[in-house]
Amino acid sequence: MINLQDEAQPKGAKIRGNKPVDQLEAANRFIAASAHQKMHDQRLWDLRKKRDAQMHLIPEWEELRDLASEIKNHTLDFLADYLEEFERNATANGVHVHWAKDAQESNQIISDILKQHDAKTLVKSKSMLGEECCLRQHLEQDGVKVIETDLGERIQQLDHEDPSHVVVPAVHKTRTDVSKVFEKTLNAQKGNNDVHYLAEVQRETTRPYILNADAGMTGGNFLVAETGAVVVCTNEGNADLSANTPPLHIVTVGIEKIIPKMEHLAVFIRLLSRSALGSPITQYTSYFRGPRKDGEMHVVLVDNGRSTRLANKTFKPGLKCIRCGACMNTCPVFRRSGGLSYGSVYAGPIGLILSPGYNTHKYRNLPFASTLNGSCTNVCPVKINLHEQIFAWRETLAKDNELSLSKRVIMKTLGQLFASPRMYRTAIQTGDRALKYLPHFMVYNRLNSWGRQRDIPSTPKETFHSWYAKNYQKKEKRDE
Amino acid sequence: MSSRDFILNKIRQACVSEPTSPPTVPFFHTSSDRIVEKFQKSLEMMGGDILPKGEKDPYEFVKTKLASAKIICPVVPEIVGNCPLTEYTTPASLQNVDYGVIRASFGVAETGSICLTDQNLLINTLGYLPQHLIILLDPTQIVENLHDAYARPEWKQVHYAALHSGPSATADIEGVLIRGAQGVRSLSVFFD
Ligand code: SF4
């Protein structure tokens, strides 16, 4: 196997406008970069193991998950009331609250706030909502210079790539991959791939931007209705720096991030970092309730499809997500195919259920990038029925005629076969020939890319049906 | 219709539920024994450390730490510094500070966190721009867990507060842990 540090980084899915993303093609390239694939798999599995260790240290872990799920269910049922309560309290604290129907409106609101302040530079802490709205691209077109301050996110920004994971955006890169990016963009020493050196280069080169920025932006992990506060969790302290150094702080946050009270916040903070990174808490858990002296604070509440999802019983539970990434860390498909193979903002199990909601046609292949093993559902701190929703998407896609040709052909043939018990039995009983070739042909053919990395269980010498017929039907006759 | 009303209407149409109250959350207390010890253990796990008390002068070890520093910015009367905060001090100007010395509102044993509010910090960036932090903490102000922490009154009084659990950190490159990412490089707590 090629040495990890010598292997070139495999790039993500090819995006061709609105054409369906070929996750499998990108995943195959990731798997072919075997050293990267192995590192990625190990690193995420390590996070999963750390999460398990933390879980075992908390006797009330399952109770916390139940509570988290109940709190979110309740909040979603009364979302409008809680949003109004948040708005009332935040406004009373001196925060400007804005509402955005979709990504475009959100971007425009932020552009306008920046224009009013004549702000030309923005330091930003990581926000998946920002990625979802393509905020950076929008602001850059407006002539605003945007600097990501989270190390992983900055690496991805400098490499013109999207984050590959909601918590660890550059997890698919090796130290050498990062070193190459920094050499090109930050003037770092050629070939120096010492991780401490690289982190220091980022610290030193980002600091001047933070000190001189006109505005700072953060996302929000939670909104607390009771106090009108925004809560942000980071390890690098970059949210606090971005929000507290420039005179203007803008928060962009999805409307589903709200919770009723401070007592509920405790439940989520206890679960979030333990589920994400296997650490008891993030280094910084920050609480913004109002602007600081001489400062200004704005909160943009973004819908962008969330209220539509709320009306859909099947997919509504997806709104409970707290973006911990635990489902990605445990997913065998994600670990082996890399987050960029999904070609969507949200990857892994949560991505499979969120992405087709944004664009069913483009992301129609994603719900098939799962083994439905249910591991994601088992680790999710807010108990989202991920694997059931993935399955529901497959049904929805089939109903909406959004299956690819290959999937349709296979499903049709197998469907006919399974629909007729007699035909099915004949097919597998026709002895060696059919037994060997028929299922094999069905599973391993060019149409079914699924079968390529998989093996079907070997067919039994005797089918249950014939065994039953031999032993019981005869017996039943005798007993009569 | 404004976007606000559009969104709220759409949500209200999607949700037609019988009124319920949100779940109440228990405190999950186990034991308040050795709470200071637990705090210390958790803090060390998160990369912070505890400065012991000196024999004659309790602040001896704090002062030793500060001895070689050029710019010291304490916002506590117990420690003398050379960078006083005035009404003209800007948030960004604290970038040259080597050590900030701040009193925390309270600590959390479960996670080794200390709570710094805008009233403790005076200028919020004092918690992040200095290279190092020394935190004074009254050990009787350590609570058992995060449920206790969020039941504290501070959250309804201040405009800004953060739970700091050790120094800033990152593991974004190959999972290698680095202390001192964007914020401070070290955080030491002193019980007084
Ligand atoms: S779906 Fe659950 S496990 Fe996955 S990111 Fe969201 S909260 Fe975490």
Percent over 70 (pLDDT), chain A: 88
pTM score of the predicted model: 0.91
Average pLDDT over all residues of chain A: 91
Task: List pLDDT tens digits, range A338-349.
Answer: 999 999 999 999
Residue A480 has pLDDT above 50, yes or no: no
Tell me, yes or no, if B78 comes closer than 8 A to chain A by beta carbon: no
Average pLDDT over all residues of chain B: 96
Average pLDDT of the segment spanning A284-288:
98
Tell me, yes or no, if B184 comes closer than 8 A to chain A by beta carbon: yes
Average pLDDT of the segment spanning A119-148:
97
Nearest 5°: CA angle at B76, between B75 and B77? 125
pLDDT-derived band at A475 (thresholds 50, 70, 90) equals low
pLDDT of residue A455: 56
Q: Is B109 a domain residue?
A: yes
**Residues B52-79: b if buried by 16+ CB within 10 A, e if exposed:** eeeeeeebebbeebbeebebbbbbeeeb
How close B56 comes to chain A (CA, Å)? 34
How close B103 comes to chain A (CA, Å)? 17
Ligand 1 centre to CA of B81 (Å) is 46
- Of A382, A389, A390, the one to substitute when testing ligand 1's pocket (max ligand atoms within 8 A of C-beta) is A382
Contact B152/B106 with Cβ under 8 angstroms? yes
Q: In what order do the strands lie in the sheet with B72-74?
A: B49-51, B186-191, B132-137, B99-103, B72-74
Q: How many Cα atoms sit within 13 Å of A340 on the Cβ side?
A: 25
Backbone angles phi, psi at B173, to 5 degrees: -110, 115
As given in the structure block, the two tokens for residue A153 are: 């996110």
pLDDT of residue A402: 80
Among A196, A263, A267, beta carbon nearest to B151: A263
Atom of ligand 1 nearest to the CA of A326: 3
Size of interface A-B (CB pairs under 8 A): 235
Average pLDDT of the segment spanning A12-20:
96
Interchain contact, B146 vs A270, CB within 8 Å: yes
Residue A461 has pLDDT above 70, yes or no: no
pLDDT-derived band at A57 (thresholds 50, 70, 90) equals very high
The residue whose CA is least distant from atom 6 of ligand 1 is A321
Q: Give the three-class secondary structure for A239.
A: helix
* Nearest residue to A101 (alpha-carbon basis) of A209, A255, A329: A255
pLDDT of residue A422: 72
| Residue pointed to by tokens 């969507």 | A344
CATH number for position B134: 3.40.50.10420
Q: Is B61 a domain residue?
A: yes
One-letter amino acid of A79: L
**Interface mutation vs chain A, best among B11, B28, B96, B114, most A CBs within 10 Å:** B11
Rg for chain A (alpha carbons), in Å? 25
Percent over 90 (pLDDT), chain B: 94
A-chain residues near B42 (CB < 8 A)? 280
Q: Is B181 a domain residue?
A: yes
- For strands B72-74 and B186-191, give the pairing: unpaired
Residue A185 burial class via C-beta count within 10 angstroms: exposed 0-12, middle 13-18, buried 19 and up: middle
* Of residues A323 and A416, more confidently modeled: A323
Q: Is B158 a domain residue?
A: yes
Query: Integer distance in angstroms from the first to the last C-alpha of chain B?
Result: 58
Among A245, A279, A288, beta carbon nearest to B125: A245
Ligand 1 centre to CA of A10 (Å) is 26
* Nearest residue to B71 (alpha-carbon basis) of B88, B50, B59, B85: B85
Residue A348 near ligand 1, beta carbon < 6 Å: no
Tell me, yes or no, if B42 comes closer than 8 A to chain A by beta carbon: yes
Interchain contact, A178 vs B173, CB within 8 Å: yes
pLDDT of residue A438: 46
Residue A350 near ligand 1, beta carbon < 6 Å: yes
Q: Is B19 a domain residue?
A: no
Task: List pLDDT tens digits, range A391-445.
Answer: 999 999 998 888 776 676 666 666 676 677 776 666 656 544 444 444 454 545 5
pLDDT of residue B39: 98
Ligand 1 centre to CA of B21 (Å) is 25
Interchain contact, B110 vs A280, CB within 8 Å: yes
Q: Is B15 a domain residue?
A: no
Residue A215 near ligand 1, beta carbon < 6 Å: no
Among B24, B170, B174, beta carbon nearest to A175: B174
Residue A403 near ligand 1, beta carbon < 6 Å: no
Residues spanned by the domain of B43: 30-191
Q: What is the distance, to the nearest Å, from the Cα of residue A34 to the centroid of all Cα atoms in its chain?
A: 23
Task: List pLDDT tens digits, range A244-278.
Answer: 999 999 999 999 999 999 999 999 999 999 999 99
pLDDT of residue A432: 47
Counted domains in chain B: 1
pLDDT-derived band at A459 (thresholds 50, 70, 90) equals low
Average pLDDT of the segment spanning A294-316:
97
As given in the structure block, the two tokens for residue B74 are: 């304490």
Task: List pLDDT tens digits, range A171-193.
Answer: 999 999 999 999 999 999 999 99
Interchain contact, B20 vs A74, CB within 8 Å: yes
B-chain residues near A311 (CB < 8 A)? 10, 13-14
Among B23, B95, B181, beta carbon nearest to A71: B23
pLDDT of residue A430: 56
Task: List pLDDT tens digits, range B121-154.
Answer: 999 999 999 999 999 999 999 999 999 999 999 9
Q: Is B2 a domain residue?
A: no
> Measured between alpha carbons, how far is B82 from A355 in angstroms, rounded to an integer?
55
* Nearest residue to A365 (alpha-carbon basis) of A327, A413, A318, A333: A333
Ligand 1 centre to CA of A321 (Å) is 5
**Interface mutation vs chain B, best among A39, A244, A270, most B CBs within 10 Å:** A244
Q: What is the distance, to the nearest Å, from the Cα of residue B91 to the centroid of all Cα atoms in its chain?
A: 18
What is the ipTM metric for this complex?
A: 0.98
Nearest 5°: CA angle at A51, between A49 and A54? 115
Atom of ligand 1 nearest to the CA of A379: 3
pLDDT of residue B32: 77
Residue of B nearest to A166 (CA): B172
Residue A301 near ligand 1, beta carbon < 6 Å: no
Contact A169/A347 with Cβ under 8 angstroms? no
Interchain contact, B14 vs A261, CB within 8 Å: no
Cα torsion angle, A325, A274, B108, A66, sign: positive
Task: List pLDDT tens digits, range A33-53.
Answer: 999 999 999 999 999 999 999
Residue A115 has pLDDT above 60, yes or no: yes
* Nearest residue to A128 (alpha-carbon basis) of A11, A51, A221, A210: A221
Residue A324 near ligand 1, beta carbon < 6 Å: yes
Where residue A329 falls (left for φ over 0; alpha for ψ -120 to 50; beta otherwise) is alpha
Residue of B nearest to A170 (CA): B172
Q: Which residues pair with B101 in a beta bridge?
A: B74, B134
> Measured between alpha carbons, how far is A287 from A294 in angstroms, rounded to an integer?
18
Percent over 90 (pLDDT), chain A: 82
Average pLDDT of the segment spanning A306-326:
97
How close B55 comes to chain A (CA, Å)? 32
Among B47, B111, B174, beta carbon nearest to A281: B111
Interchain contact, A100 vs B3, CB within 8 Å: yes
Helix axes A432-443, A405-419, angle to 10 degrees: 150
> Measured between alpha carbons, how far is B97 from B83 in angstroms, rounded to an integer?
8
pLDDT of residue A470: 75
Residue B116 has pLDDT above 50, yes or no: yes
The residue whose CA is least distant from atom 4 of ligand 1 is A327
Rg for chain B (alpha carbons), in Å? 20
Residue of A nearest to B5 (CA): A99
Q: Is B58 a domain residue?
A: yes
Residue B59 has pLDDT above 80, yes or no: yes
Ligand 1 centre to CA of A113 (Å) is 32
Q: How many Cα atoms sit within 13 Å of A463 on the Cβ side?
A: 14
DSSP H helices, A190-296, are 195-212, 238-244, 262-276
